[in-house]
Amino acid sequence: MWLMLSIFILLILNVGKGNKMKYNKPTILLKYIAYLLKASNGKGHGIHSPFVFSFIKNVLNAKTQGAWVDKIEKYRTDLSYNKQAIKILDLGAGATKQGYKVKQIAEVAKGALKSKKYSALLNRMLAYFKPIAVLEMGTSLGITTCYLAQALPDTKIVTMEGAPAIAELALATFENVGYKNIQVVVGNFDQNLPLYLKDIDHVGFVFIDGNHSYEPTMTYFNSLLSKSNEDAIFIFDDIHWSKEMENAWEEIKADERVSLTIDLFYIGIVFLKKENKEKENFIIRF
Ligand SMILES: C[S@@+](CC[C@H](N)C(=O)[O-])C[C@H]1O[C@@H](n2cnc3c(N)ncnc32)[C@H](O)[C@@H]1O
């Protein structure tokens, strides 16, 4: 009985797996329950920061709808039924030794993209904060990129993708859904992020959604900070995806240049605003 229980606990806690490995489903579920128990209720009650209160009211809890949403979502649905196989150069945290994976487009559409709820939240964040520059690290099929492009039609949205076959599909997405203010940079973040940073005055809004492991995440964060002023906003995806990502998130929160963070479980939001004298780390239900 005790042996069975220990095996069960070992299994759900992912003991024996490397820190890089994605947590298994029961572990993620337990972590999600812990998040719900710790999180503020999402209505802003008990939140004393006016900035965060306003963010909750005007951005987090606002609604995003319109014909443009339906158009993007219709394209997402089409992709999720597309059985065409593609050969994907694999650069992320789960990269295989041979470096390529063959997958159906449908699998990518169902497994790699941010859901409508989060894509719409990023759209509202851009419309609300109006950053001077927007970068997405990890384009995949370009669905979230469309939400970003819709929010700021006069801003060039730069999106980076390492797998050429995926980048081509993203270009087809932009063509079909009808966004022209997007620039796709194909290649590894490791090479392309320094080039991007050379080209801009200051970092604006960055969605870091690729290569979910500790070292690259911290490298990208520190490079981005080197070109950031207090207006920069970073969104880190999958902060509770693995032990490594949780370690990276803890280190990012503790960084002295970071003044405010919001943990929504599936993403972590980072602000550098100087008006926030005391560092504050919020966990908010979303
Ligand atoms: C989770 S998907 C991005 C999803 C997209 N942001 C969305 O919400 O629809 C991550 C993408 O990042 C790309 N990627 C991962 N590591 C990379 C790296 N080191 N350089 C360039 N691209 C990378 C992968 O090929 C993959 O398409």
For residue 148, report the distance from its CA to the centre of ligand 1, in Å: 16
Q: What is the pTM of this model?
A: 0.92
Tens place of pLDDT per residue across the chain (286 aa) = 544 554 455 455 554 445 668 999 999 999 999 999 999 987 778 788 999 999 999 999 999 999 999 999 999 999 999 999 999 998 876 555 558 999 999 999 999 999 999 999 999 999 999 999 999 999 999 999 999 999 999 999 999 999 999 999 999 999 999 999 999 999 999 999 999 999 999 999 999 999 999 999 999 999 999 999 999 999 999 999 999 999 999 999 999 999 999 999 999 999 999 887 889 999 999 9
173 in contact with ligand 1, CB cutoff 6 A: no
Closest CA to 207 of 193, 195, 194: 193
Token couple for 115: 């859901």
| Best mutation site among 139, 148, 190 for ligand 1 pocket (most ligand atoms within 8 Å of CB) | 139
Atom 14 (ligand 1) nearest CA: 210
What pLDDT is recorded for position 94?
59
- CATH 3.40.50.150 placement within the chain: 50-73+112-283
Rounded to an integer, what distance in angstroms lies between the CA atom of residue 246 and that of residue 9?
A: 20
Q: Identify the CATH class of 50-73+112-283.
A: alpha beta
Reduce the DSSP state of residue 59 to 3 states and report it.
helix
185 in contact with ligand 1, CB cutoff 6 A: no
Closest CA to 104 of 88, 86, 89: 86
80 in contact with ligand 1, CB cutoff 6 A: no
What pLDDT is recorded for position 43?
79
